[in-house]
Chain A
């Protein structure tokens, strides 16, 4: 480095100016990428597991609505009683399981994306390919996704699935809350199909009131907890059951929003680019002050 101090200062000032410009421009962009669209009228589904008969018609309807290989509707109930704990996968956006694996008479529980109010997948996605919509749905955008699978790492319910055996355009697969149907005023396919009314679609706030009303009315029938009301900051899909679903069906999760402290750390490290710019200035200062060490030689 054979430049002199004045050059150094000059370039440094220019750099400072450009950093300031960056500082002025960037935060808006960063803010813009994370719109908080939580609408008071956002929709949800109340799953009453004490009503579900385990016919599996919702699974069939879901596949049919999403143009997936659905097979014969009569075969679905059989899968339910074989004792396996199935998971939503690339070939099934929703599955129904027995709550108690060893007891074929135990209640059944339908699993799919919970459509969190503060989704970890949305926070995690490197390119913002997953978004939370005004109606509550959390959906995935094939035009943005790079297939990094960080959403799968982030999801507390272990929901997103990935097409590992596709060499080109593998997709992240998960329930989209039938957004294409609800947009035109139709019910989600599973809700529409359910023959016993185990699934209730409506405004999330009203569903929570309804769930609590059922608990009040039949205290012996329900465990006194609406799963999803507060878990990971609230989910669009909420559950009623005879027993506690935590540990038997769902992992034990806190009530903090799903992204946890991750976003605070991230924003703390980059608070308006102050820490990086300050570090740059500090290192520049050290470099300038220690320049004399090699002044006898004049660079390399």
Chain B
């Protein structure tokens, strides 16, 4: 099989009107973040003794980890199962996972009261704590993601090392080191790739174990001993929709033709994955007979319904239709719905479902909390855009390969 696509650096200029908007959102978030570091968490958030965790944990961490699942799901498909045709999407997915987890770590960093002790879990262990497991796994996995990204860095700079000023004399030395690093990575990369998938499965599920200990404080619609399984299955099902959404968005932003063919065939995996997740979620609901809570209409049952119907059932139906899978708007919409569903699920698990026994008022995120969360998202997109300009991440068709390449891909996948 021949490669019809090759990762290239993007050449379009960095600043567009939308990028300026993102910069503004990011700066607004950073301003509130500064306040948090000078005057304490309470000065920016609506958190209190009743609601110790808000959207910084629910969305920045909970949803953030889930949405970075594109990294390990595509690595499993492309590298472990060796489905070569999906190679074009592995690099963008890897970059998103790497940035995603970096921002998860940032989310934790700003949410914990004593940010300067963030390294404590490395040396102070509590094997009973689900949070400890999540913390350790995420720390190791972030390192693994950076290692997985290194070959892209070596590819970019080997033969092109050009240090400024008096550092020039080290050009050859650095180049040699990069080549050595590249060879070493090539031999050992499979260790990191498998480790990445194992670590992801572990902490994606342990993230679900987190709220189990809240016991009766958590609404029975979400509180279940199979939460880790539900978290893992939903992470599996949101990985590919994230990759599809990003790929389409990036193509549009950089004026490229979307890789519809690859994305269409990738989307075939989504309906079965969503189906398994839905079956587990409904099965759990019927075994524990929690559907009785849906009889009363209140904000809790409505949010559960939204999560399940709009976020799982509708996109499941959409991904079963080949017309949707083969159209770019169809793929984009259905993927966005899955993403919405998983974000809702994490929000519901960490925020909606949490009902402390002595609550006097409900929690709603403050303007500052929302600003920081949006600021992180904006910052992540901005860094993504910067990275695809610096490094060869996004694949573009090789000139002069045209129709023949397309044929080769179709034939090669069988």
User: Which chain A residues have a beta carbon within 8 Å of chain B's beta carbons?
Assistant: 1-3, 7-8, 11, 15, 29-31, 33-34, 85, 87, 89-90, 120, 122-129, 144-150, 152-154, 156-158, 160-167, 169-170, 250-254, 258-263, 265-267, 269-270, 276, 279-280, 283-284, 286-287, 290-291, 293-294, 296-297, 299-300
B250 within 8 A of A: no
Assembly CA distance A72 to B222 (angstroms): 47
CB proximity of B354 to chain A, nearest CB, Å: 8
Verify A29–B125 contact, CB threshold 8 A.
yes
Q: Which residue of A lies closest to B228 (CB)?
A: A265
Verify A269–B186 contact, CB threshold 8 A.
no
Contact of A261 among B113, B131, B190, B212 (CB under 8 A): B212
Verify B128–A33 contact, CB threshold 8 A.
yes
Known: A127-B120, A266-B133, A297-B84. A170 touches B40 (CB 8 A): yes
Contact of B52 among A157, A162, A300 (CB under 8 A): A162
Contacts of B217 in A (CB 8 A): 153, 156, 158
Interface positions, chain B 95-152, Cβ under 8 Å from A, are: 108, 111-115, 117-118, 120-121, 124-133, 135
Contacts of B188 in A (CB 8 A): 11
Contacts of A85 in B (CB 8 A): 358
Q: Which residue of B lies closest to A159 (CB)?
A: B49
Interface positions, chain B 69-99, Cβ under 8 Å from A, are: 76, 79-84, 87
Most buried by A among B39, B41, B111, B354: B41
User: Which chain B residues have a beta carbon within 8 Å of chain A's beta carbons?
Assistant: 1, 36-43, 45, 47-50, 52-53, 76, 79-84, 87, 108, 111-115, 117-118, 120-121, 124-133, 135, 186-191, 193-195, 197-198, 201-202, 205-206, 209-217, 225, 228, 354, 356-358
Interface of A is mostly: loop
Verify B190–A269 contact, CB threshold 8 A.
no
Assembly CA distance A85 to B135 (angstroms): 36
Contact of A148 among B112, B124, B209 (CB under 8 A): B112
Assembly CA distance A185 to B305 (angstroms): 57
CB proximity of A40 to chain B, nearest CB, Å: 23
Verify A167–B39 contact, CB threshold 8 A.
yes
Assembly CA distance A258 to B188 (angstroms): 44
Known: A34-B127, A123-B129, A266-B130. A169 touches B114 (CB 8 A): yes
Verify A164–B48 contact, CB threshold 8 A.
yes
Contacts of A253 in B (CB 8 A): 215-216
Number of residue pairs A-B, CB distance < 8 angstroms: 226
Contacts of B356 in A (CB 8 A): 158
Verify A156–B190 contact, CB threshold 8 A.
no
Q: Which residue of A lies closest to B188 (CB)?
A: A11
> What are 21 inter-chain pairs, A to B, with CB distance below 8 A?
A11-B190, A33-B125, A123-B129, A145-B113, A152-B49, A153-B210, A154-B213, A156-B215, A156-B357, A160-B49, A164-B40, A167-B36, A251-B216, A262-B130, A270-B202, A283-B197, A284-B194, A286-B80, A287-B193, A290-B80, A297-B84
Verify A2–B186 contact, CB threshold 8 A.
yes
Verify B198–A127 contact, CB threshold 8 A.
no
Contacts of A145 in B (CB 8 A): 113-114, 117
Known: A162-B49, A251-B216, A280-B198. A146 touches B121 (CB 8 A): yes
Contacts of B81 in A (CB 8 A): 286-287, 290
Contacts of B126 in A (CB 8 A): 33-34, 125-128
Contacts of A120 in B (CB 8 A): 213, 215
Verify A266–B206 contact, CB threshold 8 A.
yes
Assembly CA distance A168 to B111 (angstroms): 13
The 7 A-B residue pairs with the shortest CB-CB distance in the complex, in nearest-first order: A147-B113, A164-B42, A30-B127, A149-B52, A251-B357, A127-B124, A152-B52
Contacts of B43 in A (CB 8 A): 165
Assembly CA distance A160 to B49 (angstroms): 7
CB proximity of A233 to chain B, nearest CB, Å: 12
